Amino acid sequence: MSILNEHAAPGLWRRIIGQRNLIVGAAAAMLFLAAACSSVDTEASGAQASAAEGSAAAAAASASNEDRELATDFELVLYGNADHSQGDVVHLSDFAGDPVVLNFWFPSCPPCVAEMPDFETAYQDLKDEGVKFFGVQLLGLDSVEDGQEFVDKLGVSYMLGPDQTADTSGEIIREYAVIGFPTTVFIDRDQRIARSWTGALNLEKLEELLEEIVN
């Protein structure tokens, strides 16, 4: 039996190396997708990280108002839904004085989809109290057309739109240093960041975190 080496079978060696590179590339892509769409819940409060995730004590351990980081203003062109017209343009600064829930999502992210009915419930319960909900869609895995179709299908009615300007996309996501989806940022009446949560939220936890910016 002959021993296989690069001199005896150079074509075979090239195929083996090519297959190895494909496997490495696929693994890297899977790691990116796992990081982009996460079901792991983590939270931070302004510049100060919370020490105890998922508990009432952690929700109360936020930085004092004056120590909170100012939220970056942004522009969002809205999808059409029951409460908003397609193409309407809004800015975060339009809602100074109102508590704001800023959610980062995309349609092909299962945890993002899972939490949206609870966000819609909270929006309906609190919109008369002035609480504003934004949903900013990551573009790339899904298009603007996918986003509008998803909003139509799910029936959500708070402010949603793609993270896109005439020149670029992803600017809002970069400004808020989002590294996993869904991510939700809670902004107080002074337009300062009270807390940021990465991972899906159910209605109970959402209401708990909202108390920090509503009261």
CATH topology for the 39-214 domain: Glutaredoxin (3.40.30)
Domain coordinates in residue numbering, the chain = 6-36, 39-214
Looking at per-residue confidence, does 58 or 164 come out higher? 164
Stretch (H or E) spanning 197: strand 193-198
Across all residues in the chain, what is the average pLDDT? Answer: 82
Stretch (H or E) spanning 12: helix 10-36
Stretch (H or E) spanning 77: strand 75-77
- As beta bridge partners, residue 101 has 133, 186
Provide the pLDDT confidence category of residue 6 given band limits of 50, 70 and 90: very low
User: In terms of pTM, does the model score above 0.85?
Assistant: no
